[in-house]
Structure 1
Amino acid sequence: MARRWVVISLLPLLAVGYVVGSSGMWDRVSNDFMKEDKPYGPGDFRIDGAQVLSMKLTNPEVTTKPREERSDPTRAEFTEQWMYDPGETANRRSVRILGGNLEGEISRHFEEPAQRADWWLAPDWSTLYLTTGWSDRAAELPPGQSYRPELTQLFKSTDQGQEWEKLRWPEDQNITFLRFIDAQRGYLIGWGPRVWRTRDGGDHWDELPVPEGSRNPENPRQQFDLVALGQDHVLRMAFYDHAADVSRIYALSWGEDILKQAFTIPGHVVMDIAANTESNVYVLATRGAPYFSLPSGERDAPRPSVVWSWNGDTLHKLHEFPPGLKGYALYLTPSGGLLFDGVNESTLLGNDVVAVSYDGGGSWKIQDEGRSAQGGYYDVHTGTRWRVEGYSLYQREIP
């Protein structure tokens, strides 16, 4: 795999003592990962040994006529009329569950029309939950409405996605996120925002009250900025309070019914939250108000990523990264380290970057992972980081 280095853009990082990883950090696992499923894309995949499962949102395949069948040989023409219509194309999007073996075939187990989806896979792969959302993008907006109605469905599988049960769920109640402790206990979070909880594997759901101020009467599709379920089984939600210029982080322990404010972070938007079994909380945030709420002239201003910690009593600012590093996710590694996942936007191609700290966030080692990948994830149970570039699947260990 060729890797391009932009030396000038990395000099500021080296000057402050960071270490850039070598290009030999990855081990190639496969040369044709998910190659046969069209249109190509690895989806949100998981790997256990040689077994693979993936949830893949996909666009429909579009094809063009042979040159001799075109009305104008110099211009490409689609084979079917609907391919010219963006609304009809959107209506044909779908979500697929694919499964198989790295050394054998990976095939479709399930497919459903959807323009949005989320899933949860049990650590032992015994149970999957999947939610889908679909709206008729070719239809006119209903009179007086800003949005088209969206149809929501909820599914469950107990055999690694081979067979699926459609769970009872009102089609007009959006589900954006699935957050489960185990196959029986979990939460759904949807527009509003709204929160539901199950104790019996999805047979019954109880709606829970959300924090005052998290809803916007003018926006029925308001969402939390971030929803995370920690290793301590505490559900945490963050939303930015524009009036106070703070992000408010609320917490809900399993068995409780009321979300309680845990702490606030002034002048930052929460990107991710990680918490260990002792309820030590780590927050990845971006300086400033939410991007799309800013005036257009302020959107290009530097917005550094910052890692914070909360020990139940005190909020500490652990580290602020250079403005060129934009963080998207924060993980706890199996050995108790912190893993920052982001992009180096100061490079020409926006290289993927991770930063690792093994001293509680005091010092960080930054590693350039190469140009942006088509997909990948970090397994917090094994410490394995996966990456897909082209048709090739790579892995590395971050313990």
Structure 2
Amino acid sequence: MWRKVSNDFMREDKPYGPGDFRIYGEAVISMKLTKPETTFKPRSDEEIEANVSLEYSEAWMANPSERANRRSVRILAGELDSQLSSRFEEPAQQADWWLSPNRTTIYLATSWTDRTQERIPGQRSLPQITQLFKSTDQGQEWERLRWPEDQNITFLRFLDPQRGYLIGWGPKVWRTTNGGGRWDELPVPEGARNPENPREQFDLVALGEDNVLRMAFYDQAADASQIHALPWGEDISQQTFTIPGHTVMDIAANTEGMVFVLTTQGAPYFSLPTEERGAPRPSVVWGWNGDTLQRLHEFPPELTGYALYLTPSEGLLFDGVDESSLRGRNVTAISYDGGASWEIEDEGSSSQGGYYDVQTGTRWRVEGYSLYRREIP
């Protein structure tokens, strides 16, 4: 069912990796986090014979902190049948972006920490520098938007080039109605915050086709995930439902407000005691119609789900990994009856990148330098 589109997709860009790419016809654009290239000093035949260890060409290459400081984010663009060119690059160890459907507008948030700093006694973590950028011409020219560097941005969720949200540590939520000229901080559910952890995050934040921002977090006291909804134009979110004993992995909502939720059984993985982390955690799909929460389907425990999509023909697409083998294999499952029955498909060994286009129903996959596509309507 896969069709090969290219044999040398992004081959020329180093280091290797396709990044978080998007394809429109023959046009390609990608947001790629990169590591610095490192090299080694040549060894003589005698040194090779004596099994003398390789030595980095420059001293900084041997230092993990220096290597981390040289990481960057790169925006590349071009055509499928030609070499992609770099349109923007900025030092960053983490980044997130939003690309408008017509590829014209890009928002990019970057985070960078000087890993060579010495931590002050009592300091839980090193300070992080956050920046926010915007392009309105497909990445040709960029504007750095006004943003406080000490306010982390983890996720970007936009309705269109003028209206959207930023979500960061705390957790915190900001909203713009004028293309990033002004950002207003909005209240978040009190239970989502941890006074002992200023870098607390939501388990999941999703913006549905109904223009509702949904935030999910695990309530340890109640042993349940809370899901809060914030319709566009409102300032305060409301709790809509809870899912006992499960952690939310993804949320998809259609224009009529039908909400589908992908969860894994149990509390968030890193909150569990070490001895409990190896227990089976089945993935489950739920449906919420505004009044009733229904458990639609539980997958075999070896299938771990990471994403849930609505297809153009109103199907449900489950994206995950079969972890029954050491190397793991990509799997998808599709349902066209509202989540009652599913057809599971093995997509082969883990890929280097890919995504599903919910507008066109096209699934993309990169393996080696080969780019493949298939249709899931």
- Structure 2 unmatched runs, 5+: none
Aligned to 1:177: 155
Which residue in the other structure is 1:356 paired with? 334
8 Å CA contact 1:350, 1:372 repeated in 2 = yes
Alpha-carbon separation, structure 2, partners of 1:233 and 1:173: 25
In 2: Cα distance, 1:280 partner to 1:358 partner: 15
What letter matches 2:228 in structure 1?
Y
In structure 2, the partner of 1:368 is 346
Where do 1:189-204 residues align within 5 Å?
189-204=167-182
Q: TM-score, normalised by structure 2?
A: 0.98
Q: 1:10 aligns to what?
A: none
Matched, 1:44 2:20: yes
What CA distance in whole angstroms lies between the structure 1 residues aligned with 2:337 and 2:288?
15
Counterpart residue type for residue 44 of structure 1: D
* Aligned position for 2:115: 137
Which of the residues 42, 57, 62 maps onto 2:38? 62
Distance 1:69 1:261, change over 3 A: farther
Distance 1:259 1:58 in 2: 37
SS in 2 for 1:123: coil
Contact 1:70–1:77 (Cα < 8 Å) also in 2? no
CA distance in 2, matches of 1:206, 1:296: 40
**How big is each residue's C-alpha offset from its partner over 1:320-343, in whole Å with a ceiling of 9 and x where there is no partner?**
000000000000000000000000
Mark the CA change 1:252 to 1:295 in structure 2 (over 3 Å): closer, same or farther: same
Q: Distance in 1 between matches of 2:301 and 2:164?
A: 36
Bigger RCO (CA 8 Å, 6+ sep)? 1
Amino acid at match of 1:59: K
Q: Is the 8 A contact 1:45 1:52 kept in 2?
A: yes
- Do structure 1's residue 253 and structure 2's residue 235 form an aligned pair? no
Q: CA shift at 1:143, angstroms?
A: 3.1
Tell me, yes or no, if structure 1 residue 27 matches structure 2 residue 27: no
In structure 1, the residue matched to 2:146 is 168
Displacement after TM superposition at 1:294 (Å) = 1.1
Is 1:113 matched with 2:91?
Answer: yes
Q: What is the CA distance between 1:237 and its match in structure 2?
A: 0.3
2:106 aligned residue: 128
Map Cα deviations across residues 92-131 of structure 1 (whole Å, 9 max, x no partner).
0000000000011201110000000000000111200000
Residue in 1 aligned with 2:217? 239
SS in 1 for 2:191: coil
Cα distance in structure 2, aligned partners of 1:115 and 1:35: 22
Deviation at 1:70, TM superposition (A): 10
TM-score by length of 1: 0.93
| More divergent stretch after superposition (211-220 vs 141-150) | 141-150
Q: CA RMSD in A?
A: 1.1
Match of 1:218 among 179, 192, 196: 196
SS at match of 1:213: helix
Cα 1:70–1:279 change in 2 (3 A) is farther
Shift of 1:68: 3.0
Q: CA deviation at 1:69?
A: 10
Aligned partners of 1:107, 1:40: CA distance in 2, in Å?
14
Alignment of 1:314 with 2:292, yes or no, is yes
Deviation at 1:298, TM superposition (A): 1.1
Query: Can you list the C-alpha shifts for 1:132-169, whole angstroms capped at 9, x where unaligned?
Result: 00000111112321110000000000111111100000
Tell me the distance in 2 between the aligned counterparts of 1:78 and 1:345: 36
1:94, 1:111 within 8 Å by CA — same for their partners in 2? yes
Q: How many corresponding residue pairs?
A: 375
How far the C-alpha of 1:297 sits from its partner, in A, is: 1.3
Provide the residue aligned with 1:86 in structure 2: 64
Distance in structure 1 (CA, Å) of the matches to 2:355 and 2:164: 22
1:268 aligns with 2:263: no
Q: How many Å separate the matches in 2 of 1:257 and 1:203?
A: 18
Residue 287 of structure 2 is aligned to residue 299 of structure 1: no
Question: Offset at 1:347?
Answer: 2.7
Identity %: 73
Which of 46, 49, 53 is residue 75 of structure 1 equivalent to?
53
Q: 1:126 and 1:81, CA in 2 relative to 1: closer, same or farther beyond 3 A?
A: same
Aligned with 2:362 (options 379, 384, 399): 384
Contact 1:70 1:76 in 2 (8 A): no
Question: What is the one-letter code of the residue matched to 2:202?
Answer: F
Given the alignment, which residue of 117, 128, 131 partners 1:150?
Answer: 128
Distance 1:362 1:105, change over 3 A: same
SS for the counterpart of 1:277 is: coil
Moved more, 339-348 or 231-240: 339-348
